[in-house]
A and B are shown apart, each in its own frame.
Chain A
Amino acid sequence: MGILNGPRINFWGGIRTNVALANNQQIFSGEKIVDLVNPSVVPGMNHTDESIVAFLQEPTLEGYFTKGGWNYYGDHQVSFRDAKVSSAGMPGEIKTTAALVDTPVFLLGSLDPKTGEGPFASPVMVDLDPTGSTSTQIYVGGLQIGTGDKPKLLIRHNTVCSSHDLNRRIIAGAKDSPDSSMINGTFQLFFPMDSVVEWDQQDESLKAIIGDPQATGIVLRFCMFEMNPELTTDQLVEQYKDNMSPSNPSIGRVVGTLAAAYAGEPKSCPQGRLLRGEWRDYDTQHQASSYDYQQDNKPQAMNTTGYAELSASCLSMDTLSLMLKAKFRAERTNITGPIDPNIDMGCLTLYAGATEVTRYNDQPSDYYLYGGIIDLPVDEGQHTALASSAIRISASADKSAGPGRYTLDVNEAAIRIYSESRNTYLDDGATSFDMTLEIRELGGTLKTDTTLSCSPGRSGLLPQPDLSEFSTKMAGCHVLPQTMTDPVPACLAETPDAEAIWNSLKEVLMPKFLGTPQEISAAAGSSQVTINISVASAPVPENEMPYYYAGIAAYKIKAVDAPETNYFANFRKYPSVLTASAPGMDGQLVAAPVVGEEVSWEQVYAYVLRFYYLIFPAMSKRMPLNFADVVNGAGPQMLARTSDTYRDTSLYMPIVRSMTPVQVRLLHAYLNKETWQG
């Protein structure tokens, strides 16, 4: 059931994600300015606040935005723009004439947990690992369909969704934009039924979902794509020069579906059998970028992702992130006009294993009106075939030679691994935790015993040690290990002592707080397995190797016999001590707080607030963090919004959730005028 086999409400429109980027790296132009693990300006960085801000606004030498990225003043807020319901109905009976069509759809920020007032701001997009490109998350406070005092649907519920399927969506990305302009991101949210505050009980589309007695809640799946910074490099640099301090949000398209959720279904990741698309372009004259080509200049497959669910009468497929668009929209800022068509693959052939089941026509032009979901009616024989064999889809041979000159082969992953765990902030002092994995084979339980390989690894750039000692040893091989179990790469294989070099690299690159590699068995007939992952404590002294015993790491899981089937979850562990020393606003080191003594303004600024003043200047548009009078004046709000009460809301401070517990304690000690207890 869920979005694939149950009643649906589809919508599309624009989306605006105003993420700040200056925390995406800690080394700028070869010089380390900030420590992203223990958020602070690094000792020895004796530049003043003014000079660091100016530096981050400077254009890069490559002419690509600025040293602080393409959005220094982002406030992390996310909002739909003119998103409206486009269709609704039951699978196979989706109508663009439903009463709800054209009603606006809004993702909401959180109400204040203390008073219930608000929302005062939008949902917020936060990267657990700002240096990575594999996952982001959105903290949400609810959903609304319709406007005014009597919306058609109003849901209030604090929840978070993480990105899935960050796959290729567009062949040729936008100019003057990051590579992510070619990428799709899928998000899924679950709202329990008791979080529905009000709804129009006369509306048939809503009644089908909310009135379903089997439904445990409402699930919302949306994809964003065609994302690019609103301003070009030239526009941004010009505005920085004039101190206009603009935010430069990433803007693009959103297509989504709202549906009933049922027991046993995933809440925060897409539902269904996993389909993997492989696109190939045989016209080398039209290569989009080197991104698409391997070293041998043969066209590399572009991988996409879809999901399928089989019911007695219908095979429903979520093809939203399975099908490709050829080009980015022509008008950079037009995110609410009709979406350009996908590549027209014409007639597609659906197989169950090697058996052709049916052929169907692609929907390249209006797919987004239907949430990108295709419902194919199946008879009993087709159902039996699809239930017992892997789904396969192929573009027709005729069309592959046609104008698009692309071929598409879709194969169902033999095994799908997924989890509700995607981005997790580890509790202070945790020594281990359990992660439950869901495992499916052809949408059902495992048919054979399956072994999973689990290994900690890097999530993004951290740890970010000096690798100069390896430059000669690597002999031109630029591959770095991503997990503890990565084998020696081919480019290093001919190098003497390859194994030793590779292991040395792992030693300096791998975070060390997240367990050790392990294998775990899942028995035939099972659909779930739980892994216990240990959390290592830092050796004494605790801050001896902070990058290894605190920070950000990924835990990566693969099926040993189906290595293309994998899953990862990211974890962040905060350091338990303050950085040993930190420079203040003039670049001079400030003495660390002393236990038993009052915390001074200079100390709380250097050890806590300065990082946020410099790296998240949008915060200072609300309350300038570099002035004691402001910080003191906002003290009650800062105390509240750094408390656990706000942790699960979009109002938690800092929004980027990088402030360590010990930094929070220091801030509270200063604001409460208490002595420092460490």
Chain B
Amino acid sequence: MKRTPLYLAIGAVVLPALYACAPGAQQVSNQQASSQQVSSQQIESATVDSDIISCEFPKDVPAANASQAEFDRYSWRMFTALNQAAGDYRGTPDCAQPLGSTSNTVWRSYKQVGEIFLEDGSSPGPWNSAINQQQVWSSISKVSEDGETAESTINQPVGGWLTDQQGNPTYYQIAANEVSYNYIVNNGIYNKEGAESFSQKINFPDYSVETKASWRIMEPGDDQSRYLTTPATVETFNDEGDKRGVTKEVVLGLVGLHIITKAKGYPQWVWATFEQVDNVTDQSVYGRPNSYFNLEAANDGTANQSPCKNHNFPCKPRPGTVFSTPDPLTRLTPIAAETGAVNKEAQTELSANKFMQYYELVTTQRPKYPNDPGNPSGTPTPAVSANTTMESYIQPVSSCMDCHSTAAIQPGQRSDFSFLFLHAKSVKQP
């Protein structure tokens, strides 16, 4: 459902430069307009819905036979909705705030896996709890902290950590929305025992949403205005990739965001992945440090290599390298022309929304045949979907849907395309 384009009430006067060309803007109903008593200040800031922008999480998912561009616009509506300023209630937007005005976005108010699956396996409680501001960011690879390989499979990139061109690791976060969270809590599947003994088939409700984000440390020279940023306390690592036990205060910039939603009529979910536009392009020509791109590696074919010796686990650096040795990346599968065109449209429309214009959709993957009993995987379309910062080393065979189709709590007990349960902990007896 599209949100009321408030600017139509007075925006033709107040905001012509910003929104006069917003395509797809719809007529506001009198009832909706009159019900929104907002100040002039708020109106100037309000988010305006369009084919690209949505303040509320969109539920107008295209039909399965819709074009790539239609799905890509849907992905942008998800992206903009999730990057709207968060309201007081977790996971909801404050549509009176301008898009791009804050890093306290809707998706960042979702519950992170550590808030869903508590260390002692106890119930995580009601949804709208306070956000933990003291979190230490430590997750740098798909390999779990405690060496439990099951946890390591998917929730972060295959093949070890990702070190950027400035020698810093990439950090990852996974979170879920209220629909998804309540399903887990209400069914008592927030710990290993609960999940494994769950007698029903795991079946998340419509519009469950999960996000996976990748972040890199902003160093001097980085143009932070091009990123969604956040201050953070992060773990540091030695040359072997082991934790030093020392943290440091940094500013992180968002470099990648997976958004998945179990849109109505899509039991295989709809999968969108966004990246910061500078990730794998040569920024040195603009006088900025490169994020992950390295010209020499791009030319000599040494980019996109896992840092792990023989792809082994636990990951140990390849001979001649250490943890901080950069892992140069290129994009192996170009962004499709249709998607690129939608990106241009979106970036133009978002040009006044600060960092928002510096993100791009890589692709929207969805099932071509979502409700065919004879084809439960639905035929993932397009075949490949890779975020360079999250599927760095498997780009040509990276397929969100195919990979997540294997998600399971235990053999034979699938978890409805969600790897969240890999984070479930055993109940600790008092």
Contacts and interface: CB of A to CB of B under 8 A. Distances in A.
Interface of A: 16, 73, 77, 79-81, 106-109, 112-115, 117-123, 144, 147, 151, 242-247, 584-586, 601-602, 605, 617-618, 620-624, 626-630, 632-637, 639-641
B402 A633 contact: no
Contacts of A121: 376-377, 405
Given A117-B201, A624-B158, A637-B408, A144 B394 contact: no
A106 to B, nearest CB: 3
Given A243-B395, A633-B150, A636-B410, A120 B383 contact: no
B158 A106 contact: no
Q: Which of B376, B397, B399 has the most CB of A within 10 A?
A: B397
A80 B379 CA distance: 13
A168 B384 CA distance: 36
B396 A77 contact: no
A632 B149 contact: yes
B153 A117 contact: no
Of A115, A117, A243, most buried by chain B (CB within 10 Å of CB) is A243
A106 B372 contact: yes
B212 to A, nearest CB: 16
Nearest to B401: A621
Contacts of A113: 412
A109 B405 CA distance: 14
B151 interface: yes
Main secondary structure of the interface of B (DSSP, over half): loop
Contacts of B224: none
Interface in B274-320: 306, 308, 310-313, 315
A112 B412 contact: yes
B373 A144 contact: yes
Given A629-B313, A637-B411, A622 B405 contact: yes
B410 A602 contact: no
Contact of B149 (A122, A618, A633): A633
B375 interface: yes
21 contacts: A16-B375, A79-B375, A107-B374, A115-B413, A120-B377, A144-B373, A243-B396, A244-B333, A245-B384, A585-B311, A602-B312, A622-B399, A622-B403, A628-B310, A628-B313, A629-B308, A629-B313, A630-B158, A633-B150, A639-B411, A641-B411
Contacts of B410: 636
Given A109-B376, A242-B333, A627-B159, 11 more contacts: A16-B375, A106-B374, A108-B373, A114-B412, A118-B376, A121-B405, A243-B333, A244-B333, A621-B399, A622-B403, A628-B310
Q: Which of B143, B151, B377 has the largest count of A CB atoms less than 10 A from its CB?
A: B377
Contact of A636 (B150, B158, B159, B384): B150
A117 B409 CA distance: 12
Interface in B231-283: none
Contacts of B414: 112, 117-118, 120
A584 B332 contact: no
Contacts of B399: 621-622
A154 to B, nearest CB: 9
Contacts of A245: 333, 383-384, 396-397
A244 B383 contact: yes
Nearest to B371: A147
Given A119-B376, A243-B395, A245-B384, A629 B412 contact: no
A1 B233 CA distance: 76
Contacts of A242: 333-334
Given A112-B412, A115-B413, A641-B411, A629 B374 contact: no
A610 to B, nearest CB: 11
Contacts of B402: 618, 621-622
A247 B373 contact: no
Contacts of B369: 81
Q: Which of A120, A584, A633 has the most CB of B within 10 A?
A: A633
A635 B150 CA distance: 8
A151 B373 CA distance: 11
A627 B152 CA distance: 11
B397 A617 contact: yes
**In the A-B complex, the 9 residue pairs with the closest CB atoms:** A633-B153, A106-B374, A640-B411, A632-B149, A114-B412, A628-B313, A115-B412, A621-B402, A79-B375
Given A601-B312, A621-B399, A629-B142, A635 B149 contact: yes
B125 interface: no
A240 to B, nearest CB: 9
Nearest to B382: A244
Contact of A640 (B372, B376, B412): B412
B398 interface: yes
A243 B332 contact: yes
B153 A623 contact: yes
A160 B158 CA distance: 35
A629 B152 contact: yes
B376 A626 contact: no
B138 interface: no
A629 B413 contact: no
A115 B332 CA distance: 39
Nearest to A248: B383
A107 B376 CA distance: 11
A115 B198 CA distance: 12
A117 B412 contact: yes
Interface in B376-430: 376-377, 382-384, 393-399, 402-403, 405-406, 408, 410-414, 422
A375 B412 CA distance: 46
B160 interface: yes
Contacts of B158: 624, 627, 629-630
A632 B376 contact: no
Contact of B397 (A16, A585, A624, A639): A624
Nearest to B398: A621
Nearest to B153: A633
B52 interface: no
B311 A626 contact: yes
A327 B124 CA distance: 65
B306 A627 contact: yes
Contacts of A79: 372, 374-375
A629 B397 CA distance: 16
Contact of A637 (B315, B376, B406): B406
A246 B383 contact: yes
B398 to A, nearest CB: 7
Nearest to B314: A629
A621 B405 CA distance: 10
B153 A630 contact: yes
B154 interface: yes
A634 B142 CA distance: 13
Contacts of A16: 375
A633 B153 CA distance: 5
Interface string B149-191: 1111110001110000000000000000000000000000000
Contacts of A636: 150, 410-411
B311 A621 contact: no
A114 B414 CA distance: 12
Given A79-B375, A639-B411, A623 B403 contact: yes
Contacts of A634: 153, 406
Given A245-B383, A585-B311, A624-B397, A633 B151 contact: yes
B78 to A, nearest CB: 23
A106 B201 contact: no
Contacts of B382: 244, 246
A585 to B, nearest CB: 7
Contacts of A80: 374
Contacts of B403: 621-623
A623 B406 contact: yes
Contacts of A602: 310, 312
Contacts of B315: 629
B321 to A, nearest CB: 15
Interface in B344-376: 369, 371-376
A114 B382 CA distance: 32
A73 B414 CA distance: 24
A122 B333 contact: no
